[in-house]
Amino acid sequence: MITLDVNAIENRQLYSFLTSAIIPRPIALVSTIDKNGNVNLSPFSYFNCVSTRPPILMIAPVKKARDGEEKDTFLNLQETAECVINLTNYSMVEQMSLTSAPFDRGINEFKKAGFTEEKSLLVKPPRVKESPVAFECKVTQIIELAKNGGAGNVIFCEILSIHVAEDVMDKNGNIDPYKLDTVARLGGNLYSRVNPASIFELQKPISAIGVGVDNIPDRLLKFGYFSGNELARLASIEAVPSKTEISKFPALLDGMKVKNEKELLLYMSELLSFNQVKEAWLVGLNL
Ligand SMILES: Cc1cc2nc3c(=O)[nH]c(=O)nc-3n(C[C@H](O)[C@H](O)[C@H](O)COP(=O)(O)O)c2cc1C
């Protein structure tokens, strides 16, 4: 493990480390207008949802590294305080990328990238018709973090209305991530795609509070056999099985023809992989 002193590395390397480490980052394709009504469209991956009620999104246009100049999106938001934050799916990713070219202020990137302007309901900037989800927003707060090139301007945008394409919704009216086919930014020129191969499910430890790794007996931990994920799965059980439950178990083990310690540990791993957490404990407590 190496340790970096952020003050000892140059800006480009710092940018590279940060944007390769904080991944995947969602992408906001932001449409704005200046005070004369000129439309602008640009992507920002310093972006997230930071509050539910009030519903607030955050984007951070960074001052240009070269000369500290502000980006058009930032200037427009200072002037008119309204935007539409459009999400990007895989089918529009190259058009989204095209909008990030440093076009002069006043140039409409909808036209450059071949996107269609759709009139918004509550704000002046148009939304991207091709986008599966679009948030009409008003700016509530701008925080300039520093004056130098590379410094972020954090912009909080309150959502006024949300547009969602029916074909990305499930039957309960929620957004279906399998249908959204969204993309996210990694470091450099890399992106990731959220599709069935990259989606998995993990239960929240809210309704059931687990016993914790600190309640797994040392005689099981001492083998150093289990991965962190396996330990967490074991630790998620609400109560360590009782003596009565354990005492009934050797008969079951006999039937399974498990011979030695290593086989028992392997068997526990297998049970955990099928989410049979209690059974894994019963095997383990017989060790
Ligand atoms: C996927 C993607 C994400 C980006 N994220 C950011 C970001 O979070 N902050 C930023 O300042 N620039 C970001 N950029 C670069 C801007 O999009 C680029 O500087 C653009 O020209 C700004 O346009 P504007 O001057 O019209 O606002 C990103 C570019 C891409 C392709």
pLDDT digits (tens, 9 = 90+) for 82-115: 999 999 999 999 999 999 999 999 999 999 999 9
14: phi then psi, degrees, rounded to nearest 5:
-65, -45
62 lines ligand 1 (CB under 6 A): yes
- Give the C-alpha separation, 239 to 282, whole Å: 12
Beta carbon of 27 within 6 Å of any ligand 1 atom: yes
The Å distance, Cα 43 to ligand 1 centre, comes to 5
Residue-wise pLDDT tens for the chain (287 aa)?
Answer: 999 999 999 999 999 999 999 999 999 999 999 999 999 999 999 999 999 999 999 999 999 988 899 999 999 999 999 999 999 999 999 999 999 999 999 999 999 999 999 999 999 999 999 999 999 999 999 999 999 999 999 999 999 999 999 999 999 999 999 999 999 999 999 999 999 999 999 988 878 899 999 999 998 999 899 999 999 999 999 999 988 888 877 666 665 655 688 888 999 999 999 999 999 999 898 77
Q: Can you give the residue ranges of every domain in the chain?
A: 11-198, 213-285
Cβ–ligand 1 distance for 61 under 6 Å, the answer yes
Any idea which residue has 């990328």 for tokens? 97
Dihedral angle computed from the Cα positions of residues 115, 117, 120 and 123, in that order, rounded to the nearest 10 degrees: 90
| Residue 260: CA count within 13 A, CB half-sphere | 1
Contacts by 68-75 with C-beta closer than 8 Å and gap 24+?
Answer: 68/147, 68/148, 68/149, 68/151, 70/153, 71/42, 72/32, 72/34, 72/40, 72/42, 72/105, 73/30, 73/32, 73/40, 73/42, 73/44, 74/153, 74/155, 75/34, 75/105
Give the Å distance between the CA of 42 and the centre of ligand 1: 6
pLDDT given at position 252: 61
CB 97 near ligand 1, within 6 Å: yes
Is residue 76 lining ligand 1, measured as CB closer than 6 Å?
Answer: no
Between the CA of 81 and the centroid of ligand 1 the distance, in Å, is: 18
The residue nearest atom 7 of ligand 1, judged by CA position, is 44
Q: What pTM did the predictor assign?
A: 0.93
Helix (H) or strand (E) holding 25: strand 25-26
Q: What is the pLDDT of residue 243?
A: 82
Cβ–ligand 1 distance for 42 under 6 Å, the answer yes
Question: Looking at ligand 1, which atom is closest to the CA of residue 62?
Answer: 11
Please indicate whether residue 40, judged by its CB atom, sits closer than 6 Å to ligand 1: yes
| Matching CATH number, 11-198, of 2.30.30.30, 2.30.110.10, 1.10.287.610, 1.10.274.10 | 2.30.110.10
Residue 233 beta carbon below 6 angstroms from any ligand 1 atom: no
134 with 84: CB under 8 angstroms? yes
Q: What is the pLDDT of residues 19-40, one digit of tens each?
A: 999 999 999 999 999 999 999 9
Of residues 92, 109, 113, 99, the one with CA closest to residue 183: 92
**Is the distance from the beta carbon of residue 28 to the nearest atom of ligand 1 less than 6 Å?**
no
